[in-house]
Amino acid sequence: MRPEDVSDVVVIGAGIVGCAIARALAGTHLSVTLVEARDDVGDGTSKANTALLHTGFDATPGTLESRLVARGYHLLGEYAEQTGIPVERTGAMLVAWTDEEADALPGLMVKAERNGYRDCDLVRSEEVYRRVPDLGLGALGGLGVPGESIICTWTTNLALATDAVARGARLLRGARVTGVQPGPEHTTLHTTAGDVRGRWIINAAGLGADHLDTEFGHRRFTVTPRRGELLVFDKLTRPMVPLIVLAVPSSRGKGVLVSPTIYGNVMVGPTSENLDDRTATGTSEHGFEFLVSKGRALMPALFEEEVTATYAGLRAAADHDDYLIDLDERLRYVLVGGIRSTGLTSGMAVAEYVSGLLARAGVAVDERDDLPPPPRMPNIGEAGLRPYQDADRVAADPEYGRIVCFCERVTAGEIRDAFGSLIPPADLDGLRRRTRVMNGRCQGFYCGAHTEALLEALLETGALR
Ligand SMILES: Cc1cc2nc3c(=O)[nH]c(=O)nc-3n(C[C@H](O)[C@H](O)[C@H](O)COP(=O)(O)OP(=O)(O)OC[C@H]3O[C@@H](n4cnc5c(N)ncnc54)[C@H](O)[C@@H]3O)c2cc1C
């Protein structure tokens, strides 16, 4: 496609939501361009969350969010099976620590049913401890939510983006939209990588969606970056946390959870703090102290082990208590805003909903019958077979037996493959999200230099573009 060409649809933002939309529309006869400000896909909120595949049991019944989370749960669950996105069906337990919280549990079960989720079970204190023996003292009872699951957010984002590109979407990275010029036939987006033109524009810019919305002349919402900080514990702790331990939600929010991670660790968090700065993804001393005091009460034994990492993500909270998805037919523009704390789960359902809006506006969105198969993603989940464990694979290609990162058991073969993939990483952080290299307890102290040397060697032999 030449730069002056006009795409049928331009999607702004290559997080999970934008990639899911681009993938869905690239599966039709429409030409699609996906523009992303950063140098990589999935480098915004979608890379730093708690990575739960939510059933939607605790959503506000009747909202669009409730509907799309429930639908997204099934869509992403099925897609994960097709593509190899790591998922573990751990289930969750909402634990009541006070009489007030215990009294709230039956109401939460009714709420889950109103959200279409009927598998919750109310359990006594003994059963809570049978399921989570290392829980701190004082649990009065719980609500089991067997469908809640853990998933790899990095692979989800990459799979959707890879699928979109394989279906023919054009991906422009490092292209921040700085201005919008609507016209009678198409809209021109001024980006840091040149102008991009589209008949329809879809704004899935997450934390930047409100600013872009004003470029289209709308003044309907403001994004507040709501920071969530998390602690990650050493892999030795994983057996202590067989399932996701949730707090009973209150007027102050969903509270702090303890969860296994798909990479074999345990995490505690997130905090919830409204900020002004949309780039403030650093962690803070007060956030750390808050999580230590909350987490220690939930599971004291956990805090005898080491915290190996901390991280933070910014929810795109909006002054609106539901998703804000709206099609402006006159401007041929769709806003996909307010996707705060459930967008990993709902992304594919949001894409389906946006396709439906376009269809109602007369855009042909019938699926093509010559689609390529979904991509098969490399497994970076701890529960599945990793390349270094696969004797046949190592025998066929010894690079899968050459470990570069000993904490996370990442091999030279996986690093080579990441750079040879349809969407190669733009930097070491992108490589980390694709392979887990430098993601371990040594923080890259041992493997960082090896990884860089390997990259240089691959560059010299011409194996990298
Ligand atoms: C702490 C925390 C915990 C969470 N836990 C969960 C969970 O357990 N389960 C769940 O389902 N969800 C969870 N979420 C929510 C989920 O992570 C988000 O809803 C989801 O990632 C939003 O995806 P997105 O594509 O809308 O946004 P993003 O991933 O932020 O993508 C938007 C993209 O747009 C780009 N962009 C912005 N402005 C421009 C511009 N002008 N030009 C071009 N590109 C632009 C950005 O660079 C970015 O890459 C959590 C979020 C946080 C912060």
Higher pLDDT, 374 or 255: 374
Residues 298 and 258 sit within 8 Å (Cβ to Cβ): yes
Task: Indicate whether 463 pLDDT > 80.
Answer: no
Task: Indicate whether 4 pLDDT > 80.
Answer: no
Task: Show Cβ contacts of residue 447 under 8 Å, excluding neighbours closer than 6 positions.
Answer: 404, 405, 406, 407, 410, 437, 438, 440
pLDDT at 361: 98
Ligand 1 atom at minimum distance from 341 CA: 15
Residues 334 and 327 sit within 8 Å (Cβ to Cβ): yes
Mean pLDDT of the chain: 95
pLDDT at 9: 98
Task: Indicate whether 24 pLDDT > 60.
Answer: yes
Nearest CA residue ID for atom 10, ligand 1:
342
Could you tell me the pLDDT band of residue 3, with boundaries at 50, 70 and 90?
Answer: low
Cβ(283) to ligand 1 under 6 A?
A: no
Q: Token digits for 43?
A: 């480098």
What average pLDDT score do residues 240-266 get? 92
Ligand 1 atom at minimum distance from 191 CA: 42
Q: Does domain 1-89+149-222+319-381 have CATH number 3.40.50.1100?
A: no
Task: Show Cβ contacts of residue 463 under 8 Å, excluding neighbours closer than 6 positions.
Answer: 416, 419, 420
Task: Indicate whether 456 pLDDT > 90.
Answer: no
Nearest CA residue ID for atom 31, ligand 1:
15
pLDDT at 67: 98
pLDDT at 250: 79
What average pLDDT score do residues 98-113 get? 97
Task: Indicate whether 346 pLDDT > 70.
Answer: yes
Residue 159 one-letter amino acid: A
Ligand 1 mutation pick, 344, 345, 354, max ligand atoms within 8 A of CB: 344
Tell how far the Cα of 69 is from the centroid of ligand 1, in angstroms: 15
d(CA 205, CA 95): 35
Radius of gyration of the CA atoms of the chain, in A: 22
Residues 132 and 241 sit within 8 Å (Cβ to Cβ): yes
Residues 86 and 151 sit within 8 Å (Cβ to Cβ): yes
Nearest CA residue ID for atom 41, ligand 1:
177
Cis bond leading into 184, ω under 30°? no
What average pLDDT score do residues 33-38 get? 98
Residues 143 and 110 sit within 8 Å (Cβ to Cβ): no
What average pLDDT score do residues 119-139 get? 97
Please give the biggest Cα pair distance in the chain.
67
Backbone dihedral region for residue 174 (phi beyond 0: left; psi -120 to 50: alpha; all else: beta):
left
pLDDT at 164: 98
Cβ(342) to ligand 1 under 6 A?
A: yes
Return the residue matching tokens 């993938």: 23
pLDDT at 430: 95
Q: Token digits for 387?
A: 């390349």
Domain layout of the chain by residue ranges: 1-89+149-222+319-381, 90-148+226-315, 387-460
Ligand 1 mutation pick, 11, 36, 45, max ligand atoms within 8 A of CB: 45
d(CA 112, CA 58): 6
Ligand 1 atom at minimum distance from 345 CA: 11
Task: Indicate whether 125 pLDDT > 90.
Answer: yes
Residues 6 and 186 sit within 8 Å (Cβ to Cβ): yes
pLDDT in tens, 294-307: 999 999 999 999 99
Residues 288 and 310 sit within 8 Å (Cβ to Cβ): yes
Tell how far the Cα of 435 is from the centroid of ligand 1, in angstroms: 21
Nearest CA residue ID for atom 27, ligand 1:
206
Cβ(50) to ligand 1 under 6 A?
A: yes
pLDDT at 453: 83
pLDDT at 277: 94
pLDDT at 462: 63
What average pLDDT score do residues 40-54 get? 97
Ligand 1 mutation pick, 46, 64, 221, max ligand atoms within 8 A of CB: 46
SS3 assignment for 292-349: HHHHHHHCHHHHHCCEEEEEEEEEEEECCCCCEEEEECCCCEEEEECCCCCHHHHHHH
pLDDT at 252: 66
Nearest CA residue ID for atom 49, ligand 1:
44
Task: Show Cβ contacts of residue 453 under 8 Å, excluding neighbours closer than 6 positions.
Answer: none
DSSP state of 192: B
Cβ(208) to ligand 1 under 6 A?
A: yes
Task: Indicate whether 60 pLDDT > 60.
Answer: yes
d(CA 168, CA 181): 25
Which range among 106-120, 168-182, 205-219, 247-261 shows the weakest confidence by mean pLDDT? 247-261
What average pLDDT score do residues 262-271 get? 97
DSSP string, 1-40: --TT-EEEEEEE--SHHHHHHHHHHHTTTS-EEEE-SSSS
What average pLDDT score do residues 356-362 get? 98
What average pLDDT score do residues 245-267 get? 91
pLDDT at 417: 96
Could you tell me the pLDDT band of residue 2, with boundaries at 50, 70 and 90?
Answer: low
Return the residue matching tokens 């806003």: 335
CATH code reported for the domain at 90-148+226-315: 3.30.9.10
Cβ(225) to ligand 1 under 6 A?
A: no
Cβ(157) to ligand 1 under 6 A?
A: no
Cβ(246) to ligand 1 under 6 A?
A: no
User: What percentage of the chain exceeds 70 in pLDDT?
Assistant: 98
Q: Token digits for 436?
A: 């887990």
DSSP state of 426: S
What average pLDDT score do residues 378-382 get? 98
Residues 157 and 47 sit within 8 Å (Cβ to Cβ): yes
**What pTM does this model have?**
0.97
Nearest CA residue ID for atom 2, ligand 1:
49
DSSP state of 372: P
Cβ(13) to ligand 1 under 6 A?
A: yes
Cβ(44) to ligand 1 under 6 A?
A: yes
Task: Indicate whether 1 pLDDT > 80.
Answer: no
Could you tell me the pLDDT band of residue 105, with boundaries at 50, 70 and 90?
Answer: very high
DSSP string, 243-261: SEEEEPPBTTBS--EEEE-
Task: Show Cβ contacts of residue 367 under 8 Å, excluding neighbours closer than 6 positions.
Answer: 27, 28
Cβ(16) to ligand 1 under 6 A?
A: yes
pLDDT at 464: 57
pLDDT at 461: 73
Could you tell me the pLDDT band of residue 75, with boundaries at 50, 70 and 90?
Answer: very high
Cβ(176) to ligand 1 under 6 A?
A: yes
Q: For residue 232, what are the CA distances in angstroms to 145, 237, 294?
A: 23, 10, 14
Ligand 1 mutation pick, 21, 35, 50, 87, max ligand atoms within 8 A of CB: 50
